[in-house]
Structure 1
Amino acid sequence: MTKRLPFSSLDDAIDAARSIWWNQVNVLGWLEAFSAHPRIGDVEALRKKFSSGWAAGEQSAALTTANEKVLQELADWNMRYEEKFGHIFLICASGKSSHEILGELKKRYTNKATDELRVAAEEQQKITELRLIKLGVWQSKDSSDQGIEGGARVTQAVLRPPITTHVLDVSLGRPGAGIDVKLERCVAGEGENSRWDFIGSSVTNSDGRCGQLMEISDHVQAGTYRLTFETGNYLLRTQGEGKPVFYPYVHVVFQVQPHQVSEHFHVPLLFSPYSYTTYRGS
């Protein structure tokens, strides 16, 4: 990758990464890349994996949704996986809950070794592309700026999806963590007769911020969108047993006008057991 610098765009950098990974890196290189990831060998190692560096952001949904039982089951299944395949279980976990990761681990455990090696390599490539996006810069060939080697200019890349959200529990004065969030777009009808297409889902992390709900892009399709927050399960956890749940879920419906398709829409939820509000943030 460094020998090919500068890249004219983020897409060019990703295309180069794909070409190198699939055409120039052999199986030993794949295994070397796998081994650089933290193992899910025991509960403590799993916690450390989810709490440091870029892995923290990529694994935040899993960390938020993992209890001791799920963490232990993940560790146990990872040991079985490594004994069978000879390398760690690798998955691009961005936005995935601990239950989703565990389900995928059990499913992939039934693969043949040759098939699973290919799947793991595909997951490694996803992680590489995600981190290229997070790096947030590419080098442009047509710049005259000599401040960077080769006359390349550093340009800011698109770092986030066009629709994002977070949740604040105003009754407790802290982020609303572990809340399932779903994003949909209206494709037909109005009111009760509306038909909604699913776009994506995630879980709020310890900061109350929701993981990726849609593809990272610098534009969004015009139309009517709906965010659904599964507040009922959250209230059951935070209020304690015996207290009634008034809001089992919250719908936030908003519109993106044709002249706004290049704008970013951050739509937070301020929530308490008996009230909520929302606004367009930045």
Structure 2
Amino acid sequence: MAAPMLLSAEDVLRVNGSRRFAAAMAAASPFASLADALLAARRIWLNEVDVNGWLEAFAAHPAIGTTSPSVSKWSKEEQSALSTATDSTAQELAEWNARYREKFGFVFMICASGRTAPEVLAELKRRYTNRPIVELEAAAQEELKITELRLAKLFSSEPTVPSTTTEGPATQSDKAADRIRIIGAHLGALPQPCANKAPEITGSSNRSRPPITTHVLDTARGSPASGIEVHLEMWKDSSALLSFSNKDFSGWATLGYSVTNNDGRSGQLMDIVDNIAPGFYRISFNTRKYSPAGFFPYVSIIFEIKENQTAEHFHVPLLHSPFSFTTYRGS
């Protein structure tokens, strides 16, 4: 069995520039394997690091396509495919980088490993049209992809915590082979280093979070909404709900309950499972306590998960103000 990896906050800052993320990862180590580190990284990044932590991590990256000598070795490696960009493409990329930063206030985040300059430029232009809150989450997901790849590099290059037991050469060889197998499985699961699909990880579930998640943003204040009670339910008889002929609404079965934290994110609302049951789901938010003078004292969002979507992730946020609300399906 591979020896555990002990990470310091300084080690993690090479991977991700958020000090909060680095401190939490260091506190969670040592990790028995890369898979365990990836699980912890996703959980911490998505559930414990706030928006300020995300922005701090973004700020540690150079603008995409930058060739300054101060750019780190890992950033150069990740952007190596961009080095063949034509002068006109490089100039256009620089111009769109500036436009993006002016609109959103942070550097354009993209996991660029294996991507050409035209591909990156096309993605930059596409995401430039996003609403700020949608783009913030997209950037955070790209940062997570970069973090995962850098963790794999860190595990392949850093020494592990020495074992307290005496082991012969054959055992040490097995440990080295096990590490190579784990890292190879992680990287090999991707058709290219930064595929849109997150890499699968080993363990009791291939997910690092429940299939359904949510957060609440106060669009009137421009800040996360904390202290809002959240309920997740599933409808037992989907055919009855579709017909609207059944006046008995006792068919909703509670799956979980939580309260949003200071970053507006709810805690775990259901078990972490590989495949969620298809059907109708309802997320309800008690907004009266948060906004007593508002028009909507309670907001419910009903959505359907189809048979061919059971392995997907469903992030269903609430964008709330005293006199309006909206939602979307995020990642």
TM-score of the aligned structures, taking structure 2 as reference length: 0.43
Higher strand fraction (1 or 2): 1
